[in-house]
C-alpha cells in the first residue's frame, strides 16, 4: 500500500492539504463537471482508430489505446472545519505499441483530435524502436479475440458525485462532532470518491467502454493524556469499496456486532466514530502486551492487509519472474514450487482465490486494460499453490493459453502492467461463529482493524499491527491490550491457520492505494475473508521511551 | 507554446491571468514538466515512456471564502475561464477560518537547479545509459533490473499583491538491482543528480554487481542488538521519518514525537547526540532546492536540529500567526552535517558489527516514539575485528531514529542520496550506531 498518498490525502503528511499537487489526480474542476458524461463513445472510437492506424503506418505490429477520464472528489475536514474540498478531472490518452518486438508507450494530456492521437502513437513507436536494441527476445502476447464494441458499468445504486457537497460536509462534521463529544482531542475525516471512465481499443478488434466507481470514508481519532503526554489513535473500520454512495446508507443487516461493531456492505460512520473516540481513550490505559507466542484471531478488517501482502503480492507473476526486482522485489513463491504441485502454502483449510468480477469489490471490471474479459481463478487450493496472476505477455510462461485479465494502469498517462486482482480467503465450509472460535482459544489476541505493516522483498518475513487488540484468556475476552505487533513467515503463518469462520462472517477489506512499478502507480484492490485463527504466532511489544 | 516556459514567458502569462481577476485576492501557480523514463529487468528493456504536462492553478478569495480551479490549456479564453471558475467556487465555498491572505512581494535566495544537459536527454540517450549498465552483466552471469527517470520542469507563481516567483529545475534518478544467477546474492545502488553529466551508469553498475557477488553466500546470525554501519542510502529512509515529523502544529497539539506532557514541546531541548546537526539550504550546490515554497514564502537556510538541540519546527502561516511565531515552511531540501570518517574508517574501528547497505519497507509503528520497522536488503555484511568477514541474511528491525541518534558512534561525510521509500534526494552521511535493534531474521534475498 502506498503510504505517501494515504498520508497526504488524510492531511497528515508533510504535504498535507496540497492535494492538487498529486500528479495522478489531474486538474481541479467545478463539481458539476463530475456529472458531465465525457466524450461520446463514437468520438472515442474515431480517436482510437486514428492512433491505431498511425502506429501501424509507422511499423507497429500491435497497438492499444486508452482514452481515460478520471474524476475524483475529496472532502477533507478536521474537528469543526472543512479543510479542503477538491474536485479533479484528468483526461488524456495513452498509446502502447509493439514495434521491432519491443514495447513503447507515450501519453498526451487532453488529446482531442486525430492529430494529437497520431502524435502519441508515433512517439510510442519511436520509443519502442530506440529501445529494441536492448531487447533479448521479442514480446510474445497470448492470443486474444476481439470483442467488438462492448461496455461495462459498475452496478452502483447512487453515483456519489450526484450527492450535494453540503450533504457530505454535514456528514463529516457530524462525525467529527460525535468524536469530540465522546472524548476525542482531535479528529480528521475524509470522503474519497473516484470515477474512472475508460475507453480501450486495440488492434485485436476490441473497443471497450467502462465506467468504474469507488468510495472510501475514513477518519482518524486522537486521544491525549495531558499528564503523561501519551496519545493514542483509532482509525475507521470502514473499507474502500467499488460502490456508490449507497455504502454510506446505514443498514442494520450490514452490521456485525460483537466486541466492537464492524461493517459489511453498508457503513455507519457516525456509530463507528463514536466507538472510536471511546476506544482511543480506553487504549491510553490498556495493558501493554507481554511479548510471546499467542493464538491470533484476526477480523476481516485486519486480515485483508495480511492477505494482500503475503498472498496477493508474492503471486504476481511479474515479481516471480524478476520484472519488479529493482523496486517491489521478487517472490519466495518461485516457479519450481508451483511446478512441484505440492507446495504447501497454507494448511488444508486455506483456499485463496483471485477475482476480477466480485460485485462491490475494488477490482471489479468487465475488461482489463489490455482488453481481456475478466474472470476468477484459484491461487491456493486446499493449501497447495496452484497458480499465479498473469497478463498477456506472461501467460505462456506458466502454460496458460490466455491472460488472467489483471492488467491495469492507474491513469491514461501511465503504462499498463500486471496488477493484483482481488485476492480473497474463502470462508470456512463448516459452520463456525467468531464466538465459537474464541471459546477454544486459551492464550490469544483478537485483532480488529489494520495498522502498521511491513514485509520483505520476497514476502517471507512480515510484521503487522492493528487498531484494536483484545486479550483472550481461556476462551474469554480478558480486556484491551496495546503495543501489539505480530511477526511471522508467510508459509509458516498460513500453515498455522486452524479455523476459518463460515460465510456469515465474510467481509471485504481493501487498499485504495496499492503501490507498484517504476514510476510508481497505485491501484485499488479488495480482499475478502471471514475471521480466521492462526496458532502460536510471535507477538512483540512495540512500546518504547524516547 | 513550449511546455517549459522561460521566466519572461511565465511572467507574461501570469500577468494575463491576474488581469481577469475580480476577486478580493487572486494567486496563480503555473507549472510545466517534461519527463522520460526507461525500465529494464532480466537484462533487457521492459517498459519505458514519456509524458508532457502543464498546469495552471488559480486560487481566488472573497474574504475567507476560497475557490481553486485548474486548467492545462493556456489560450486567452481558457485563462479567463479558469479565473471565472475559481471565483464561482469561492462564492459557493464555506468560510475557511484558517485561510491566510496572500503574501506581498518577497526576496528569494538564488538557487541553480536546472541543467541543460538533463533537459536535453532523449530516448536514445536513456537507452545508451542502460546499455552501458547491461554490458557489465555478462562476464559474471548477473541479472540486472533498473530504472532511470529524468524530469525537466519549472514552477512559477504570481498574486494580486505583486508577488512573482520562478524556479526551473532538472533531476535524474537512477537505481539498479543486480542479482546473481542462483538468486542467492543481490546488490543495489541508487543516485540522484540535477546534472545528468554526473551520472555514470557503468561505475554505479559495478557497485551493485560487487554487492550482489559479495552477498551470495550469506550466513544467518541471531537477531538482537548490534553495532551497525548504515550506508547513507540506508540511513536516509530512517532519517526522513524524523524530517517528515517536524511539524509545529502536531507538536503543539500533543501528537508528535516533539510533544511533551502538559501541552509543551521539545523546542530548545536536546533530543539526540550533540554531533547531529540537520538544516536546509536551497542554495546548496550539491542539492539545490526551490528558493520559495508553494505559497510564495522564501525558503531560507533553516537549522532544524543544531548540535542535538531542536531549533526549529515547521510553522504554517496560519499556525504561526495563532501561536505568535514566525512562519517556517517545510523545506525544499534537507542536509545533515557529517564527520570526517570514511566508510572504510568506520569498518576498521568496528570490533563486531553489521554493515547495512539498504533498508526496505519502512513503516511507522508508533508515532509517539517514531518507532519504525523494516528490513535490511540487497547486501548486509558481518564485520569482525575491523574487517568484513562475510555476508549475513537479512534482518527485520524495530528502531526509532531518535533512539538511534542517541546511540551515535561515528558520522561519515555527507553525500547526495535518494530515499528508496520516497524518491526524495538528501545530503547526509553514513553513520555508525550502537545497539541497533534487529528483531527477527528474513530468508529474503
DSSP A254: G
Element (H, E) at A276: helix A269-284
Say whether pLDDT at B153 is over 60.
yes
B2 within domain boundaries: no
Q: Say whether B388 sits in a helix, a strand or coil.
A: strand
Record: contact B146-A323, CB cut-off 8 A: no
Do residues B384 and B391 make contact, with C-beta atoms less than 8 angstroms apart? Answer: no
Mean pLDDT by 10 residues, chain A (546 residues): 40 31 47 74 97 98 96 91 83 95 89 92 94 91 97 97 92 98 97 96 98 98 95 97 96 94 97 98 98 98 98 98 96 98 98 98 98 98 98 92 96 95 98 98 98 97 98 98 98 98 98 92 96 98 96
In a domain, B349, yes or no: yes
Are residues B318 and B262 part of one domain?
A: yes
Least Cα distance to B289 among B255, B319, B330 occurs for B330
pLDDT tens per residue, range B58-116:
999 999 999 888 887 788 998 998 899 899 888 888 888 899 999 999 999 999 999 99
- Shared domain for B344 and B240, answered yes or no, is yes
Q: Please give the mean pLDDT across all residues of chain B.
A: 96
Q: Read out DSSP for B355-375?
A: EE--EEEEEEEETTTTEEEEE
d(CA B205, CA B187): 9
Alpha helices by DSSP H, listed for A333-482, are: 335-339, 434-439
Question: Which residue intervals of A27-113 are DSSP H helices?
Answer: 41-57
- In this structure, are B39 and B143 located in the same domain? yes
Domain identity same for B253 and B364: yes
Answer yes or no: do B188 and B334 share one domain: no
CB atoms within 10 A of CB B159: 24
Taking each helix axis from N to C end, the angle separating B123-134 and A114-132, rounded to the nearest 10 degrees, works out to: 20
- Which pLDDT score is estimated for A31? 63
Q: How far is CA B23 from the centre of its chain?
A: 36
Distance CA A54, CA A361 (A): 37
> Can you give the pLDDT at residue A88?
80
Q: What is the pLDDT of residue B267?
A: 98
Q: How many CB atoms lie within 10 A of CB B331?
A: 25
**Could you tell me if A538 lies within 8 Å of chain B, comparing CB atoms?**
yes
Same domain, B184 and B229: no
B374–chain A Cβ distance below 8 A for any pair = yes
Does B254 contact A30 at a Cβ distance shorter than 8 Å? no
| Euclidean distance between CA atoms A306 and A384, whole angstroms | 18
Cβ within 8 Å, pair A454-B375: yes
Q: Are B224 and B346 part of one and the same domain?
A: yes
Number of domains in chain B: 2
H-type alpha helices, B184-260: 201-214, 232-243, 248-252
**B229 and B84 in a common domain:** no
Query: Residue B43 domain-assigned?
Result: yes
3 state SS of B138: helix
Is B123 in Cβ contact with A126 (below 8 Å)?
A: yes
CATH number reported for the structural domain that contains residue B145 in this entry: 3.30.2290.10
Angle at the Cα of B381 from the Cα atoms of B375 and B383, rounded to 5 degrees: 130
* Pairing mode of beta strands A476-482, A287-288: parallel
- Nearest-by-CA chain B residue for A458: B444
C-beta atoms surrounding B352 within 10 Å: 11
Mean pLDDT of B132-137: 96
Q: Which of B53, B255, B440 sits opposite A222 (nearest CB)?
A: B255
Among B59, B366, B399, B423, the strongest candidate for a mutation testing the A interface, having the largest count of A CBs within 10 A, is: B366
Distance from CA of residue A396 to its chain's centroid? Answer: 27
Among B145, B178, B358, B394, pick the best mutation site for testing chain A contact (most A Cβ within 10 A).
Answer: B145
pTM above 0.90, yes or no: yes
Q: How far apart are CA B51 and CA A415, in angstroms?
A: 11
Verify that B360 and B266 share a domain, yes or no.
yes
Domain limit, last residue, from B152, B177, B207: B207
- pLDDT, residue A278, reads 98
The answer to the question of residue B440 being in a domain is yes
Neighbours of B220 (CB within 10 A): 12
Report angle CA A242, A245, A246 to the nearest 5 degrees: 85
Q: In this predicted structure, what is the pLDDT of residue A34? A: 67
Smallest CA–CA separation between A235 and chain B, in Å? Answer: 14
Inter-chain CB proximity B147 and A487 less than 8 Å: no
CA distance A501 to A320: 31
Residue B387 domain flag: yes
Please tell me the predicted confidence (pLDDT) of residue A347: 98
| A519 prior amide bond cis, ω within 30 | yes
**How far is residue A445's CA from residue A232's CA, in Å, rounded to a whole number?**
19
pLDDT at position B191 over 70: yes
The answer, for B178 touching chain A at a CB cutoff of 8 Å, is no
Domain match, B55 and B150 both: yes
Same-domain status, B150 and B242: no
In this structure, what DSSP letter does residue B194 have? Answer: S
Whether residue B152 is predicted with pLDDT greater than 90 in this model: the reply is yes
- C-alpha closest to that of A39 among A155, A172, A199, A191: A199
Distance between CA atoms of B133 and B148, rounded to whole angstroms?
A: 11
Residue of B85, B252, B444, B445 to mutate for A, most A C-beta atoms under 10 A: B444
- SS3 (DSSP) at A496: coil
Residue B199, min C-alpha distance to chain A (Å): 18
Residues 6+ positions from A336 with CB-CB distance below 8 Å: none
- Give the separation between CA B141 and CA B139, rounded to whole angstroms: 6
In this complex, do B42 and A322 lie within 8 Å of one another by their Cβ atoms?
Answer: yes
Distance of residue A516 Cα from the nearest chain B Cα, in angstroms: 12
In chain B, whose CA is at the least distance from the CA of A124? B49
To the nearest whole angstrom, how far is the Cα of A254 from the nearest Cα of chain B?
31
Determine the pLDDT at residue A414.
92
Kindly list the residues from chain A whose CB atom is less than 8 angstroms away from the CB atom of residue B54: 109
Q: Domain end: B181, B207, B233, which one?
A: B207
CA distance A190 to chain B (A): 16
| Mean pLDDT to the nearest integer, B160-168 | 98
Which pLDDT tens digit goes with each residue over B194-248? 999 999 999 999 999 999 999 999 999 999 999 999 999 999 999 999 999 999 9
pLDDT for position A37: 74
The last residue of a domain, from among B207, B237, B268:
B207
Structural domain containing residue B383: 217-445
CB interface of B with A, residues 194-213, below 8 Å: none
The CA distance from A41 to the nearest CA of chain B, in Å, is 23
Q: What is the pLDDT of residue A32?
A: 65
**Is residue B1 situated within a structural domain?**
no
Q: Which domains does chain A have, with CATH numbers?
A: 3-284 (3.30.2290.10), 288-541 (no CATH)
User: What integer pLDDT is reported at residue A8 of this predicted model?
Assistant: 38
Q: How far is CA B170 from CA B36, B167, B421, in A?
A: 12, 10, 20
Rounded-to-integer distance, Cα B184 and Cα B215, Å: 8
Helix, strand, coil percentages for chain A (3-state, nearest 5)? 25, 40, 35
Contact status of B424 with chain A (Cβ, < 8 Å): no
Q: Same structural domain for residues B201 and B115?
A: yes
Amino acid at each position: 500500500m502506498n503510504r505517501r498518498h494515504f498520508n497526504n490525502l488524510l492531511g497528515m503528511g508533510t504535504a498535507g492539504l496540497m492535494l492538487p499537487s498529486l500528479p495522478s489526480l489531474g486538474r481541479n474542476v467545478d463539481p458539476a463537471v463530475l456529472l458531465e458524461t465525457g466524450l461520446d463513445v463514437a468520438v472515442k472510437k474515431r480517436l482510437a482508430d486514428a492512433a491505431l492506424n498511425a502506429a501501424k503506418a509507422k511499423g507497429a505490429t500491435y497497438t492499444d489505446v486508452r482514452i481515460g477520464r478520471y474524476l475524483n472528489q475529496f472532502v477533507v475536514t478536521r474537528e469543526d472545519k472543512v479543510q479542503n474540498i477538491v474536485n479533479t478531472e484528468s483526461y488524456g490518452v495513452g498509446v502502447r505499441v509493439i514495434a521491432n518486438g519491443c514495447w513503447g508507450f507515450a501519453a498526451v494530456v487532453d488529446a482531442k483530435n486525430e492529430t494529437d492521437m497520431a502524435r502519441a502513437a508515433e512517439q510510442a513507436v519511436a520509443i519502442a524502436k530506440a529501445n529494441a536494441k536492448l531487447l533479448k527476445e521479442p514480446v510474445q502476447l497470448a492470443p486474444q479475440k476481439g470483442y467488438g464494441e462492448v461496455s461495462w458499468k459498475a452496478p452502483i445504486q447512487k453515483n456519489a458525485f450526484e450527492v450535494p457537497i453540503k450533504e457530505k460536509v454535514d456528514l463529516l462534521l457530524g462525525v467529527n462532532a460525535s468524536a469530540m463529544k465522546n472524548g476525542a482531542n482531535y479528529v480528521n475525516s475524509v470522503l474519497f470518491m473516484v470515477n474512472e471512465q475508460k475507453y480501450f481499443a486495440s488492434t485485436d478488434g476490441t473497443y471497450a467502454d467502462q465506467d468504474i466507481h469507488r468510495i472510501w470514508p475514513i477518519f482518524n481519532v486522537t486521544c491525549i493524556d495531558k499528564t503523561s503526554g501519551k496519545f493514542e489513535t483509532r482509525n475507521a473500520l470502514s473499507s474502500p469499496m467499488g460502490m456508490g454512495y449507497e455504502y454510506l446508507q446505514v443498514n442494520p443487516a450490514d452490521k456485525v456486532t460483537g466486541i466492537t461493531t464492524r461493517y459489511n456492505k453498508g457503513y455507519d460512520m457516525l456509530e463507528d466514530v463514536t466507538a472510536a473516540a471511546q476506544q482511543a481513550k480506553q487504549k491510553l490505559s490498556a495493558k501493554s502486551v507481554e511479548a510471546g507466542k499467542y493464538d491470533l484471531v484476526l477480523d476481516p478488517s485486519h486480515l485483508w492487509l495480511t492477505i494482500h501482502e503475503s498472498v496477493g503480492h508474492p503471486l504476481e507473476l511479474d515479481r516471480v519472474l524478476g520484472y519488479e526486482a529493482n523496486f517491489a522485489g521478487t517472490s519466495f513463491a518461485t516457479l519450481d514450487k508451483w511446478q512441484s504441485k505440492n507446495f504447501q502454502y497454507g494448511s488444508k483449510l486455506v483456499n485463496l482465490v483471485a477475482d476480477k468480477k466480485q460485485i462491490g469489490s475494488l477490482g471489479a471490471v468487465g475488461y482489463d486494460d489490455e482488453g481481456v474479459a475478466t474472470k476468477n481463478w484459484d491461487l491456493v487450493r486446499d493449501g497447495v499453490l496452484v497458480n499465479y496472476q498473469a497478463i498477456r505477455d506472461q501467460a505462456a510462461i506458466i502454460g496458460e493459453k490466455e491472460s488472467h485479465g489483471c492488467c491495469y494502469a492507474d491513469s491514461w498517462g501511465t503504462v499498463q502492467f500486471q496488477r493484483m486482482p482481488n485476492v480473497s480467503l474463502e470462508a470456512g465450509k463448516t459452520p463456525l461463529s467468531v464466538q465459537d472460535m474464541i471459546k477454544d482459544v486459551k492464550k490469544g489476541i483478537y485483532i480488529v482493524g489494520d495498522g502498521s505493516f511491513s514485509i520483505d522483498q520476497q514476502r517471507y518475513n512480515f510484521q503487522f499491527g492493528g487498531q484494536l487488540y483484545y486479550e483472550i484468556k481461556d476462551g474469554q475476552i480478558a480486556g484491551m491490550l496495546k503495543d501489539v505487533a505480530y511477526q511471522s513467515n508467510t508459509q509458516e503463518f498460513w500453515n498455522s491457520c486452524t479455523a476459518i469462520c463460515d460465510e456469515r462472517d465474510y467481509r471485504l477489506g481493501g487498499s485504495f492505494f496499492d503501490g507498484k512499478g517504476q514510476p510508481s502507480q497505485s491501484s485499488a484492490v479488495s480482499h475478502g475473508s471471514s475471521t480466521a485463527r492462526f496458532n502460536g504466532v510471535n507477538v512483540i511489544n512495540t512500546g518504547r521511551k524516547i | 507554446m513550449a511546455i517549459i516556459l522561460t521566466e519572461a514567458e511565465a511572467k507574461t502569462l501570469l500577468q494575463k491571468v491576474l488581469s481577469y481577476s475580480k476577486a478580493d485576492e487572486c494567486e496563480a501557480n503555473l507549472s510545466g514538466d517534461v519527463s522520460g523514463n526507461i525500465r529494464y529487468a532480466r537484462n533487457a528493456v521492459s517498459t519505458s515512456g514519456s509524458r508532457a504536462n502543464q498546469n495552471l492553478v488559480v486560487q481566488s478569495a472573497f474574504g475567507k471564502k476560497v475557490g481553486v480551479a485548474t486548467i492545462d490549456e493556456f489560450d486567452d479564453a481558457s485563462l479567463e475561464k479558469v479565473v471565472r471558475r475559481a471565483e464561482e467556487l469561492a462564492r459557493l465555498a464555506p468560510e475557511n477560518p484558517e485561510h491566510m491572505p496572500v503574501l506581498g512581494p518577497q526576496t528569494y535566495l538564488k538557487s541553480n537547479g536546472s541543467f541543460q544537459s538533463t533537459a536535453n536527454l532523449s530516448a536514445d540517450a536513456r537507452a545508451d545509459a542502460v546499455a552501458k549498465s547491461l554490458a557489465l552483466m555478462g562476464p559474471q552471469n548477473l541479472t540486472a533490473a533498473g530504472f532511470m527517470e529524468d524530469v525537466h520542469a519549472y514552477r512559477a507563481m504570481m498574486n494580486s499583491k505583486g508577488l512573482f516567483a520562478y524556479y526551473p529545475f532538472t533531476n535524474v534518478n537512477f537505481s539498479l538491482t543486480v542479482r546473481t544467477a542462483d538468486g542467492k546474492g543481490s546488490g543495489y545502488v541508487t543516485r540522484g543528480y540535477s546534472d545528468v553529466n554526473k551520472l555514470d551508469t557503468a561505475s554505479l553498475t559495478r557497485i551493485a554487481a560487487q554487492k550482489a557477488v559479495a552477498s551470495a553466500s550469506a550466513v544467518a546470525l541471531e537477531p538482537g542488538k548490534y553495532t551497525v554501519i548504515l550506508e547513507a542510502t540506508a540511513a536516509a529512509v530512517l532519517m526522513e521519518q524524523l524530517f517528515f515529523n517536524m511539524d509545529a502544529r502536531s507538536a503543539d497539539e500533543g501528537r508528535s514525537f516533539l510533544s511533551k506532557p502538559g501541552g509543551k514541546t521539545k523546542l530548545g531541548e536536546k533530543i539526540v547526540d550533540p554531533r547531529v546537526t540537520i538544516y536546509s539550504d536551497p542554495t546548496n550546490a550539491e542539492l539545490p532546492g526551490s528558493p520559495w515554497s508553494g505559497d510564495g514564502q522564501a525558503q531560507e537556510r533553516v537549522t532544524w536540529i543544531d548540535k542535538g538541540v531542536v531549533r526549529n519546527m515547521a510553522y504554517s502561516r496560519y499556525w504561526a500567526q495563532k501561536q505568535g511565531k514566525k512562519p517556517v515552511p517545510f523545506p525544499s531540501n534537507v542536509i545533515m552535517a557529517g564527520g570526517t570518517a570514511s566508510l572504510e574508517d568506520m569498518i576498521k574501528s568496528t570490533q563486531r558489527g553489521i554493515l547495512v547497505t539498504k533498508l526496505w519497507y519502512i513503516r511507522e509503528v508508533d508515532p509517539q516514539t517514531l518507532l519504525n520497522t523494516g528490513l535490511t536488503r540487497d547486501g548486509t555484511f558481518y564485520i569482525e575485528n575491523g574487517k568484513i568477514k562475510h555476508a549475513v541474511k537479512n534482518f527485520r528491525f524495530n528502531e526509532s531514529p531518535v533512539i538511534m541518534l542517541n546511540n551515535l558512534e561515528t558520522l561519515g561525510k555527507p553525500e547526495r542520496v535518494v530515499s528508496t521509500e520516497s524518491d526524495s534526494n538528501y545530503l547526509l552521511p553514513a553513520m555508525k550506531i550502537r545497539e541497533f535493534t534487529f528483531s527477527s531474521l528474513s530468508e529474503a534475498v
